[in-house]
Amino acid sequence: MTMGTRVYLARLSGLPVFDPNGDRVGRVRDAVVRLRTTNRPPQVVGLVAEMALRRRIFLPIGRVTSMDAEAVVLSTGTLNLRRFEKRPNELLVLEDLLDRRVTVAPENEGGREHAGAVVDIGMEENRRTEWIITRVAIREHPGRLTRRGHVYQAEYDRVRGLVGPTDTQGTSNLIALLDQMRPADMANALQDLPDARRNEVAAALDDRRLADVLEELPEHDQVEILVALDRERAADVLERMDPDDAADLLAELPKSEQAVLLDLMEPEEASPVRQLMNYRPGTAGSVMTSEPVILTPDTTVAEALARIREPELSSVVAAQVFVARAPSATPTGKYLGMVHFQRLLREPPSTLVGGLVDADIEPLRTETGLTEITRRMATYDLIAMPVVDPQHRLLGAVTVDDVLDHTLPRDWRDRDAYDEQEVP
């Protein structure tokens, strides 16, 4: 790194981290700032990197040989794989400083003070090879004529309110960074935030994004975030969740609260959730999705392919279509079979899916247990299996991610619980 080079820390978020051999270590998730007892600016002492299995470790800044818009590269040496824990005299740039409300002293006597929110932090290397905060990028509060305030930079010593206790931290810039992540990674990042900050950031997400993130969080975090919302908003978010995930989350709430939220949901959204909550836990009925891709036998291959291309479908749901007589909503007419997407790709577009169905796999019943489901999916190398009622009407489908969610330990999404089992 060149002496005097200025690096903006928020821009490092999400960049891959490589060792000297070019092997990827993980991704940058934050930067660690150490407060000093004198009036000297805070010192940046390292980065927080996320490795495989969601483990976050500390990378000393002295181990970093280069930082640019593409990657962070480390020097040779052994990495300490112990999970990162913030010390009392440390702050995290993205978690603690981004979106803070600050004021900026005027450059000249007689000038006016400005107020705004932090959007980035700039650091530079001094003569002692320490990386210190020197600049703060700030967005002014928007005025009457502008929707978004002007962004400008100020020297660190002119900024008031950047460090120390604050109850005036917004969410917009942190959300802009988190929004670049997959829902599972965003959920992981939220687990690192203090409870109040986590709930604040979660509440600022739109309904669809929050629903996706909730599905990736441990159950206790799901509940805490949901109950922190007002009930109307909570019902809106539950409507955006997959019915099986919404049912699992509601099952963690008191019966009285379940009833209130279900009543606030739109009837057509609440109906499948209510039905799923009636099945015995650990059975196909309790873990299935009630919204697989269902087509009638007179649907063409071209129409089927267009349906599974819809972006809101998960990869496991889009991996196959289920063919049934009308009506196509669950419970359907008579279930006929399923067609894998690879078969659809091999057939002429005008072919009808009714002539392509695989009817050799015996469907599951709602009372089929997880052990039997797992055995049958493994035997036939299936990604999903249909669930039918005694009249052979399709009720839903159990997907491989449903099975994994319910056969892994209950707290498998909780990184704290996982780390306690890992050898440092």
* Residue 49 counted as domain residue: yes
* Residue 80 to residue 59: CA distance in whole angstroms: 8
Q: Which of 62, 53, 59, 78 is nearest to 17 (CA)?
A: 59
Beta strands 24-34 and 56-60 are unpaired
CATH of the domain at 215: 1.25.60.10
Q: Which of 243, 235, 233 is nearest to 271 (CA)?
A: 243
* Residue 356 counted as domain residue: yes
Same-domain check for residues 318 and 374: yes
336 SS3 class? strand
Domain tally for the chain?
3
Q: Which of 333, 327, 307 is nearest to 318 (CA)?
A: 307
Same-domain check for residues 268 and 365: no
CATH of the domain at 320: 3.10.580.10
Query: With the CA atoms of 331, 336, 341 and 346 taken in that order, what torsion angle do they form, in degrees rounded to the nearest 10?
Result: -160
Domain boundary among 278, 302, 336: 278
Same-domain check for residues 18 and 138: yes
Same-domain check for residues 13 and 142: yes
* Residue 414 to residue 224: CA distance in whole angstroms: 14
Same-domain check for residues 306 and 222: no
pLDDT in tens, the chain (424 residues): 444 488 999 999 999 999 988 999 999 999 999 988 777 889 999 999 988 767 889 999 999 999 988 999 999 888 888 889 888 889 999 988 999 899 998 887 777 888 899 999 999 999 888 999 999 999 987 654 445 678 899 999 999 888 866 555 677 778 877 777 888 888 888 887 888 888 888 989 999 999 999 998 888 899 999 999 999 999 999 999 989 889 999 999 999 999 999 999 999 999 999 989 999 988 999 999 988 999 999 999 999 999 999 988 888 999 999 999 999 989 999 999 999 999 999 999 999 999 999 999 899 999 999 999 999 999 999 999 999 999 999 999 999 988 887 777 665 555 554 444 343 3
* Residue 413 counted as domain residue: no
Q: What are phi and psi of 78, to 5 degrees?
A: -90, 135
61 Cα distance to chain centroid = 28
* Residue 412 counted as domain residue: no
Q: Which domain holds residue 236?
A: 189-278
Those residues with Cβ within 8 angstroms of residue 118's Cβ, 6 or more apart along the chain or in another chain = 97, 98, 99, 100, 102, 136, 137, 138, 162, 173
Angstrom distances, CA of residue 13 to CA of 55, 70, 97, 190: 16, 11, 14, 14
Preceding omega of 331 cis (within 30 degrees of 0): yes
pLDDT at 372: 94
* Residue 285 counted as domain residue: no
* Residue 397 counted as domain residue: yes
Long-range contacts of 271-276 (CB under 8 A, 24+ apart): 272/243, 272/330, 273/238, 273/243, 273/246, 273/247, 276/243, 276/244, 276/247
Same-domain check for residues 272 and 320: no
Same-domain check for residues 255 and 304: no
Same-domain check for residues 270 and 306: no
